[in-house]
Amino acid sequence: MKQNRLLKTVLFISVMAFIVTGFIPLSFAKDKLKVGFVYVSPIGDAGWTYQHDLGRIDLEKNLGDRVSTKFIESVPEGAEAERVIRDLAKSGHDLIFTTSFGYMNPTLKVAKLFPNTTFEHSTGYKQAKNVGTYMCRFYEGRYLTGIVAGKMTKSNQLGYVAAFPIPEVIRGINAFTLGAKSVNPAIQVKVIWVNSWFDPGKEREASEALIDQGVDVLTHHTDSTAPTMTAEEKGVYSIGYHSDMSKYGSNAHLTATTHVWDAYYTKVAQEVLDGAWKSTAVWGGIKDGMIKLAPINKKVPADVVALVEATTKSIADGSFHPFSGPVKKQDGTLVVAAGKQLTDDDLLGMNYYVEGVLGSMPK
C-alpha cells in the first residue's frame, strides 16, 4: 500500500537523522573553574533563590574569566536532585553549590562518586571530605527587624507567616520576638504555618487572616512577596525576608532581612582556584557580611534607626548576642540565665517558642 511505503520511508529518514545528530559532540572548555548552582525554586521568586543567584552573578563579576557558572532552577528535593547534581559534576563542574536543605543526602551521595569535586551544601548539617556546609545567622537580622516592628506597632500584635516548624524557622520567630520585646514588652507574635516554602495564594490568605486578627506589622519565613503585597493592600506594615521587597509595597515595607551570599561565594571559589579549600561548617552572620538589613523606610523615626544601627554593630563585634539571657520559654521556664547566651548547638536544635509567641507549635 502506497501509504505504508511513504510512512516507512519517512520513518527511516527520521531515524537516520536521529542517529546522525547523535554524533555531534558537545564540547567543553576545561581551562576555567566551572561552578554549578542547584536551586530549589525559580530565580524569579524574588526570595531565597534570587539572593543566591545575586551571589552567583557577583561571583562571575569578581572572578571574571577565571570562572564560568551554570545554574539549574526548580529542582525538586529528593531523588531528582541527585541526577542533576551528578550531571553537573560529570560535566566538569568542579565546585557545586546545592542551595536547599533537602539536597543534603543527594549531595553526599554524589560527592562520594566524585571525590575531586568540591560541594557546598547550604543549611545542611552533614559534611564530608569534599562537602562543606554553610549557613547564615538569619536570626541576627530577625532580632534587628524585631526592634523595628516593636517600635512601629500600634496594636502590639505582630504577625508571622511561616513555612515549616523546623529549628531555622523557629529561631527566626524567637529572635524576632525577643527583638521586639526588648523595645516593647507588651507585644505578642501570632504565627500561621502554611506548610510550603512558596505558595503565594496561601501566603496571602494567611497574611489576611493575621491582619484580620489585629496584626499591624507582618513578617514571614516564606519565599514569595505575597505577605508584603497583602500588607500594602491592607495598609499595615510588613518586614520582608530574603530580599529587599520594598518595590512590592513601598508604604508597607519597613525593612527586610536580606541574605548576602556574594562575598562568601567569591571566597569559596577563590579557595578552590588556589587549592586551599577545606570542608567546614560555616555559620556566618552580620560580621561576615552574610546578613544585611534592607534600607529602612523613611517612616521609621530616627532614634529607632539609630538603635538598630547600634545593635547591629554590637552583634557584629560580638558584644551582643540576640539570645542572651534572660530568655524564657512560653511556659515561663528559664532557658538562658541572665549574663549567659545560647550556644550554637542549642540554637541548632531549637524546638520551643519563647515568651511572647502565641499558640503552640504544630507537632
Interacting positions 274-333 with another protein (CB under 8 A) = none
The C-alpha cell at 325 is 539571657
Nearer to another protein, 166 or 304 (CB): 166
Q: How far is the CB of 105 from another protein (least distance, A)?
A: 7
Does 79 contact another protein by CB under 8 A?
yes
Rounded to a whole number of angstroms, the minimum distance from the CB of residue 282 to another protein is 17
Is residue 102 within the footprint of another protein (CB under 8 A)?
yes
Q: Show Cβ contacts of residue 346 under 8 Å, excluding neighbours closer than 6 positions.
A: none
Site for another protein in 170-189 (CB under 8 A): 170
Stretch that binds another protein, among 296-304, 319-327, 328-336, 343-351 (CB under 8 A): 343-351
Using the rule CB under 8 A, is 9 a contact of another protein?
Answer: no
10 in contact with another protein (CB under 8 A): yes
Give the bridge partners for 101, in sequence order: none
Q: Count H helices, E strands: the chain? A: 11, 14
Report the nearest approach of another protein to the CB of residue 258 (Å): 15
Choose the stretch contacting another protein; rule: CB under 8 A; options: 166-174, 180-188, 301-309, 319-327: 166-174
φ/ψ of 70, rounded to 5, equals -145, 140
48-63 vs 262-274: helix axis angle to the nearest 10? 50
**131: phi then psi, degrees, rounded to nearest 5:** -125, 120
Among 35, 40, 85, 192, binds another protein (CB under 8 A): 192
What count of other Cβ atoms lies within 10 Å of the Cβ of residue 41?
21
Candidate segments 79-87, 142-150, 260-268, 282-290, binder of another protein by CB under 8 A: 79-87
Would you say 147 or 342 has its CB closer to another protein?
Answer: 342
Q: Scanning residues 238 to 257, which ones bind another protein (CB under 8 A)?
A: 247-248
Give the Cα separation of 72 and 300 in Å (integer). 39
Q: Residue 157: how many CB atoms within 10 A of its CB?
A: 20
Based on the shown chain and the rule CB under 8 A, indicate whether residue 88 belongs to the binding site for another protein. yes
- When asked if residue 4 is in the footprint of another protein (CB under 8 A), the reply is yes
Residue 272, Cα to own-chain centre: how many angstroms? Answer: 23
Cβ closer to another protein: 105 or 270?
Answer: 105
The answer to whether residue 80 forms part of the interface with another protein (CB under 8 A) is: yes
Q: Which of 33, 34, 45, 144 touches another protein by CB under 8 A?
A: 45
Q: What is the nearest approach in angstroms of another protein to the Cβ of residue 175?
A: 16
Which one of the spans 6-14, 134-142, 180-188, 294-302 is the region binding another protein (CB under 8 A)?
A: 6-14
Of 266, 233, 240, 275, which is closest to residue 254 (Cα–Cα)? 240
- Which listed range, 114-122, 159-167, 271-279, 327-335, lies at the site for another protein (CB under 8 A)? 159-167
Which of these segments, 14-22, 175-183, 287-295, 309-317, binds another protein (CB under 8 A)?
Answer: 14-22
Q: How far apart are CA 311 and CA 277, in angstroms?
A: 33
Cα–Cα distance for residue pair 27/123, rounded to 1 Å: 34
What angle (nearest 5°) sits at the alpha carbon of residue 252, between those of residues 247 and 256?
65
Enter the C-alpha cell of residue 152: 512601629
Q: Which segments of the chain does DSSP mark as H helices, in order?
A: 2-21, 48-63, 79-90, 104-113, 138-152, 167-183, 200-212, 226-234, 262-274, 302-316, 344-348
Residue 110: other Cβ atoms inside 10 A: 25
Query: Cβ of residue 226: shortest distance to another protein, in angstroms?
Result: 6
Q: Which of 9, 314, 343, 360 binds another protein (CB under 8 A)?
A: 360
Among 32, 62, 184, 199, binds another protein (CB under 8 A): 199
